[in-house]
Amino acid sequence: MPEKNGGYSKVASSSSAQTSSLQKMHGVWSSRWTFILAATGSAVGLGNIWKFPYIAGENGGGAFVLVYLVCIAMIGIPVMCAEVLIGRRGRMSPINSMRFVTEEAGLHGAWTAIGWGGVVAGLMIMAFYSVVAGWALHHVIETASGAFTGIDGAGAGAKFGEFLGNTKSLIAWHTVFSVITFTVVAAGVTKGLSVVARVLMPFLFVALAVLLVYAIVKGDIAQGFAFLFDFKFDKLTGKGVLVALGHAFFTLSLGMGAIMAYGAYMPAHANVAGTVVTIGILDTLVALVAGLAIFPIVFASPGLQPSAGPGLMFVSLPVAFGNMPLGIVFGTLFFVLVVVAAWSSAVSLIEPGVAWVTEKGKFNRTIATGILTFIAWLGGLLCIYSNNWSGDKEGHFFVFEGLDFLTAQLMLPLGGMFIAIFVGWFMNKKILASEMDAEGHPLFDIWLFLIRYVSPALVALVMVFTLYITFAEPSDDLDFRALMFGLKVVSGGLSIVIGLQLWKLRKAKAQA
């Protein structure tokens, strides 16, 4: 075994025993940097390259980016620490790690639901994620073959519509993506996930840098920069703030145990907080650079709009590349980059389930990966077929949007909230301090405050808001009403919690 395990003595003994059996079963990242690259691989995906630039542009550019950065720092990074911590403490799949820490804390087994929910959410995300990644694969071939050369907006739109109507082709690309994901996960942590992290992540960083230079040289960088970073506070609505918060979760792969599973394979001597901050910074940098590379290219073609949704990446960019010098080369590079980013994210979506099935001991890793990939693949078929059943070639995705809503808007924030509550309120503070290697450090207390109060409250706010605008009657001031309603609910809840804490404190003082 190549892994060094010096330094494990730092962790409580229960954890060391777990470590050696885990090393036999799953493997461990060979170094702290492999973990950083793997977790960054999970975090950097379609969310960064496709979604972030668009939502940033639409929600007030710099103003939105600022809110987003605050959310990453105040919620994303603290919750990510909590996930890594549970994973490294339990050293197993999220389900069994949750079981371990729950028993350690003497709590009811219902907390294990966090692990279960994660496995299910991962498969649900993988179902539609793999379909979109399939579109990107298709675009690699189309761009490379020159199919977009000289194309205009209408032509590219029609081409994409035609592709979305071609069920066979959609299934074929979805299947190709599922198979390449399977290959990596089946190969295991040491030979599969680590290799992808160490080879593909540096490629991704370099490719993105090359594209940025191309965008600066050939694109309209001034307009792109302004679109992304000008503070347009009037464009930032209540909903925009909450979009930023929700995206902070999705982009850091939080709330479903992906990072927990990766944390289980983390070397024990690696510093959690520093590692997680590095991942957060890398993920944010990739999102910002992706935006800075994409918009100048889009703006370089007169008449192209930084349009919404799938259109930006799958219609506008092909037009832009199709009409730029060396567009075939750089366009192909761009879509390869998208596939690579999606690929290294997809492996983290099925790893939690694979680790759990492997731990059951009935199947080896290859078969376990096969089973889970197959289930997600079937979900992808449902997405594809429900699209064509509706007969709406514009892309009205029923199952697709349903899965996206259920996971990104409900399951991930809820999962993240319960993880924060579990770690903040129910795990032994001594264990937390030793796992964080931060006894008495002022940052430790700040972190604890964030996961106890701030993260759960803000997530609850997003949840209430989202549910409100989903089910309320549409109106002009819907955003505002939903925000006010959410604030009332959350401040009510917080008052109760703080009241109870004060009451407990007084009682404890009175007894002493």
- Output the six-digit token pair for 384: 């594809």
Element (H, E) at 399: helix 398-404
**Does residue 46 interact with ligand TRP by CB under 6 A?**
yes
Q: Return the residue of 225, 250, 343, 465 that touches ligand TRP, per CB under 6 A.
A: 250
CA 228 to chain centre: 21
Give me the least distance between CB of 129 and ligand TRP, in Å please.
7
Instruction: Tell me the three-class secondary structure of 242-268, residue by residue.
Output: HHHHHHHHHHCCCCCCHHHHHHHCCCC
Give me the least distance between CB of 345 and ligand TRP, in Å please.
4
Give me the least distance between CB of 48 and ligand TRP, in Å please.
5
- Output the six-digit token pair for 9: 């003595």
| Residues paired with residue 231 on neighbouring β-strands, in sequence order | 61
Give me the least distance between CB of 454 and ligand TRP, in Å please.
20
Gap between the Cα atoms of 65 and 55, Å rounded:
10
Q: Return the residue of 181, 348, 373, 387 that touches ligand TRP, per CB under 6 A.
A: 348
CB 338 within 8 A of CB 136: yes
Nearest CB to ligand TRP, comparing residues 112 and 407:
407
- Output the six-digit token pair for 64: 């939105």
Nearest CB to ligand TRP, comparing residues 42 and 332:
42
Nearest CB to ligand TRP, comparing residues 294 and 431:
294
CB 175 within 8 A of CB 374: no
Piece of 40-48, 53-61, 398-406, 465-473 that binds ligand TRP (CB under 6 A): 40-48
CB 54 within 8 A of CB 308: yes
Q: Return the residue of 349, 417, 457, 459 that touches ligand TRP, per CB under 6 A.
A: 349
Piece of 59-67, 139-147, 253-261, 297-305 that binds ligand TRP (CB under 6 A): 253-261
CB 171 within 8 A of CB 347: no
Burial of 277 (0-12, 13-18, 19+ CB in 10 A): middle
Burial of 65 (0-12, 13-18, 19+ CB in 10 A): buried
Nearest CB to ligand TRP, comparing residues 18 and 34:
34
3-state secondary structure at position 79: helix
**Does residue 45 interact with ligand TRP by CB under 6 A?**
yes
DSSP code, position 395: T
Nearest CB to ligand TRP, comparing residues 11 and 282:
282
| Closest C-alpha to 204, from 53, 77, 73, 42 | 42
Give me the least distance between CB of 46 and ligand TRP, in Å please.
4
Give me the least distance between CB of 397 and ligand TRP, in Å please.
17
Q: Which amino acid is at 456?
A: P
Long-range pairs for 442-446: beta carbons < 8 A, 24 or more residues apart = 443/273
Nearest CB to ligand TRP, comparing residues 122 and 311:
122
Q: Return the residue of 184, 215, 258, 457 that touches ligand TRP, per CB under 6 A.
A: 258
- Give every CB contact of residue 13 below 8 A, 6+ residues apart in sequence: none
Question: Hey, what's the torsion of the CAs at 385, 390, 393, 395, to 10 degrees?
Answer: -70
Nearest CB to ligand TRP, comparing residues 75 and 125:
125
Piece of 16-24, 190-198, 342-350, 366-374 that binds ligand TRP (CB under 6 A): 342-350
Number of residues this chain uses to bind ligand TRP (CB under 6 A):
16
- Output the six-digit token pair for 214: 């191309």
**Does residue 455 interact with ligand TRP by CB under 6 A?**
no
**Does residue 332 interact with ligand TRP by CB under 6 A?**
no
Give me the least distance between CB of 55 and ligand TRP, in Å please.
12
**Does residue 42 interact with ligand TRP by CB under 6 A?**
yes
**Does residue 47 interact with ligand TRP by CB under 6 A?**
yes
Piece of 82-90, 201-209, 245-253, 313-321 that binds ligand TRP (CB under 6 A): 245-253
Nearest CB to ligand TRP, comparing residues 36 and 438:
36
Element (H, E) at 53: helix 52-58
Interacting residues toward ligand TRP by CB under 6 A: 42-43, 45-48, 125, 250-251, 253, 256, 258, 345, 348-349, 412
